[in-house]
Amino acid sequence: MAETINIQEMDLETAVDSIITRFRAVHWGKKAGLQNGEAEEKVITFLDALNVNSYTIKWITSGELSETISRLTFEGSELWDQLKEIPERFSTRIRQAGQEELLFELGDRLPEIIFHQAFSHMIDLATDKKSTEYLIGLAMYLCVLTCSAELAGEGSSFYPMIELLEMGNLVLGVEGNTIYLL
């Protein structure tokens, strides 16, 4: 599990801004379809931090993107079982630290910032509207969760995700315990 940091000692706004800056610089899906062992390692590190043990990592090609998205489901996903509870935990820690204002600002500003930036790349990656919408939603989700994690003092467990994105690959989603990488 991530090292616990005393979030009152950090300059939180700077830390979050730094993560937003990193997300803004991501060229989403730049290396989509190019299998990368290092990317897989990042995913495994992330899953270990969440204590997720049941998973299979599967690479897909850009051509398989649309069909794979149509199959994604949270049902039977150990990863989702962990992820879905995280926002509540983060929110509690952030409120306990008196950083609620930052959280509101984050929820208010961030999705739109990422929407525009991710759209410019995802529109080339996806071949249909539904897939584009999904990918943009995914980008917003990853960014919001990572920034919330940083505010809650658990940011380091999400750094592997940013690093994977910076490599140009994507964690697409889950179909049960299968995790798709692009």
Partner 1 sequence: MANRKKCDVIVVGAGPVGLVTGLALKKKGISSIVIEAEPFGRERPGSRAIYLHNASLKHLEETATGLGFTLAKNGIIWPVKRTLYKGKEVYVRNYGLTNNQDPHKLPHFTALHQDEIEKYIYQECVEAGVQFSWESPVEKIDIKESGVILRTKSGEEWEAKYIIGCDGARSVVREQAGIKLEGPRTNDTFLVLDVKEDEENPLPLERTFHYQHPAMGGRNVMFVPFKGGWRVDLQLLETDDPEEFSNIDSVRKWLPKVMDSKYANRITWVSTYRFHQAVADSFTDENRRVLLAGEAAHLFAPFGARGLNSGIPDALLAVRGIEAALQAKTEKEQVQAIDEVAKERRIAALWNRDGSSTALHHLQGNAPDMSMKRELAASLVSIIPRLGRWLDEGPYGPKFGPPELTTKY
Residues that bind partner 1 (CB under 8 A): 70, 72-74, 83-88, 90-92, 103, 106-108, 111, 130, 134, 137, 141, 144-145, 148
Smallest gap from residue 23 Cβ to partner 1 (A): 16
Smallest gap from residue 74 Cβ to partner 1 (A): 6
**Partners of 180 in the beta sheet?**
58, 173
Cβ nearer to partner 1, comparing 27 with 84: 84
Cβ nearer to partner 1, comparing 28 with 134: 134
Smallest gap from residue 31 Cβ to partner 1 (A): 25
Cβ nearer to partner 1, comparing 59 with 141: 141
Cβ nearer to partner 1, comparing 39 with 171: 171
Q: Residue 84 and residue 79: Cα distance in Å, rounded?
A: 9
